[in-house]
A and B are shown apart, each in its own frame.
Chain A
C-alpha cells in the first residue's frame, strides 16, 4: 500500500510505527539468511591462513586467483559441466512432462483420472531414503548405474510430483471458456496446450523451473549413491571430494561454493519476480 503524497507528517509516522514490527522481522530474517552467504563470499576471496588468523575480517588483499585455482586444480570443470547437463535436461523434461500431466489432470475428466492423480501426487510424501536401495538395484539392471542418464531419469521421476502439484493448481484456475473458445477457433487439444495453457501458465512454469533447478543443482543423496566415477560426479559431490583431498581447506571450499552458487543466483535474479507472481497468482486473482 502506497500512502498518498499529500498526507500529514503525523499520519506518516503512525504508518511507519505500525509497520515497524514487520520491518524488524524482515531485517532479522535477512541477516540470518544473508549473513552466512556474505561470510562465505568474503572467505572465498581470502586464503586459508588469513581466515584462520581472523575469521570475520574483510579481505586485506582480494585473491581473485583463487577462483582460477579452484576451477583448474581439481576436476571442477567436469563437475560443473556434469551438473549443467543433468540439471538442465532434468528441468527441461520435468517442465514439459509435468505441464502436460498437469494440463490433462486439470482439464480432462477421463476414466481413472483420480487414480492417476493419486499415484503421481503420492510421490510428494515418499522420502527419498526409502527408495534409494530399490532405485540402485533397478538402475544396475538397466545398466544406468553410474551414468548421467540414470541420474536424470531419477531426478525427473522424483520431482514430477511437486511439479505437477504446482502446475495443476495454476492451470485449473485458467477459465474453461478460454479452452472452449480455442476449440471453436479450430485448434486441437495439443495445439491448445501449446498456445493457451503454456503461455498463460508462464508464471507457474517459472516457479517450477526455479524450484526444480535450485533443488536439483544442490542434490546430494541420489548423486552420491548413484554415481561413483570421478568424471561422472556433479558439483555437490565435487565440493565434498575437494574437502577431503585438501584436509578442509576452508578458503578453497568457500571459493568452490561460490562457483557452485553462481547459476542459482543468476536464475533467481532473472526469474524471481515472475516466480513470486506465479506463487501468489491464486491468491490475488
Chain B
C-alpha cells in the first residue's frame, strides 16, 4: 500500500540528444490503478523504469509514501514489475520463479510455500509448478509473471505492456484477471500500454503521454469526453475523433462556424475566446456523435448536412463505419452507424452532427476551447 508521487521527472539517455521524459509530474493514490498511455517511443517505459530504480533519474524526484527514493537502489524499493517479455528465469521451475523474490527477503520456507501455493491456485498454475518456463504456453508464462509480482505483496505494481504478446481472446480474460487481482489486493499499480481499450477498461485514471510529456490526466471517460487537445482527441477512440477545419465569422456577440456549404451558430463557446482565433479552428466530433439518419429530429443540437458522398462502408458486424466526404471539406468524416446501415459507396447521404458533443480546438496551439456548458455533462444551453 503506497502512494507514488513523481515531480518534474526528466530523463536524458547517454548519447540521446533529446529528453526521453520531460518534466513529468504525476501522483498515484494508494490503491489506485494508473495507466500510462501513449504512442510508441513517448517515454512510458522510461518513466516506469525510473520508478523501479532500473534507470538513473536525470532530474526530478520519485517519492514512494512521501519518501524520495531517487537514491534507493532497485532491490530495496519493494516494487514488483511485470515485463512485456515476462522475464521468467529460464533455469528455474515455476515454483522457484515465484519463490525467488521471497527467498531474498528472508521469509520463512513455510510462508513461502503458503504464498506460492496461494498465488498459483488463484492463477490456475498449480499443475505447472514443477515445469520450466520453456514448457509453458504464452498465456501460462504471462500468469507466472503476474504471480511472481503478486506473491511479493509489494508496495507498488508496475506493468510494462504485460498483455501485448497474448492473442485477442486471452488478452481479454487476462485483463479481467489482472484487474480483479489488483482490486482485491488493493496494491497501487502503474500500468503502461499503448492499447486504448486496456487503458479505458483497466485504469482508475489514465495519463496520456506524448513525446515524453504528460498531455492529460483524468478518469478514462472524462478524458474521452473532454480531450485537452487534438492529440488526445485523435489518440483516444477508435475510429478517432473527426477533426473538421472550420472558419469562424462573426462579431463580438455571435459567431458562426463555416465549413463547406454549412454554417453553424457557435453558441457553446465563449464569443470573446472565439474572436481571438484568427478566424480558424478545428471542429472535433466523435464518429458516434454523427448520425446517418435523423433519429432525433427536432432536437436543436442536431445540425443536418446534405450532399455528403459515401467513400467507403465498413460493416463490422455490431456496427458499420461509414466514411464520408463532405462537400467543400478536405478531411473525410467517419460515422459510426448501426449494423442495419443501407449506405453504399458512391451514394449521397444526409448526416446530422450532434453539436452538443462537439469540441472546438485552436488550430495554432491544438488546445481545446472550453465550452460554456462544459461543467454540465452533455448539457445544452437551452436558454441561449
Residues on A facing B (Cβ under 8 Å)? 109, 175, 177-178, 180-188, 191, 196, 199-200, 202
Contacts and interface: CB of A to CB of B under 8 A. Distances in A.
B234 to A, nearest CB: 32
Given A183-B75, A184-B81, A188-B75, A178 B101 contact: no
Contacts of B87: 175, 177-178, 180-181
Indicate the member of A109, A183, A199, A200 with the most B CB atoms within 10 Å: A183
Nearest to B91: A199
Interface string B70-98: 00011111011101011101110000000
A185 B54 contact: no
B105 A175 contact: no
A177 B141 CA distance: 15
B100 interface: yes
A109 B75 CA distance: 19
Contacts of A183: 53-54, 73-75
Contact of A181 (B53, B83, B104, B105): B83
A178 B89 contact: yes
Contacts, number: 59
A187 B104 CA distance: 7
B75 A184 contact: yes
Contacts of A196: 89
A157 B74 CA distance: 35
Interface string B26-57: 00000000000000000000000100111000
A185 B100 contact: yes
**Which residue of A182, A184, A186 has the most chain B CB atoms within 10 A of its CB atom?**
A184
Contacts of A200: 89-91
Nearest to A177: B87
A171 to B, nearest CB: 14
A182 B54 CA distance: 11
B142 to A, nearest CB: 14
A229 B165 CA distance: 65
A181 B75 contact: no
A18 to B, nearest CB: 32
5 contacts: A177-B83, A177-B86, A180-B74, A183-B74, A183-B75
A202 B90 CA distance: 12
B53 to A, nearest CB: 8
A195 to B, nearest CB: 8
Given A180-B83, A185-B75, 16 more contacts: A109-B14, A177-B83, A177-B87, A178-B90, A180-B52, A180-B74, A181-B83, A181-B89, A182-B89, A183-B73, A183-B75, A184-B80, A185-B104, A187-B104, A191-B104, A200-B90
Contacts of A178: 87, 89-90
A188 B76 CA distance: 10
Nearest to A188: B75
A202 B81 CA distance: 27
Contacts of B100: 182, 185
Contacts of B73: 183
Interface in B329-359: none
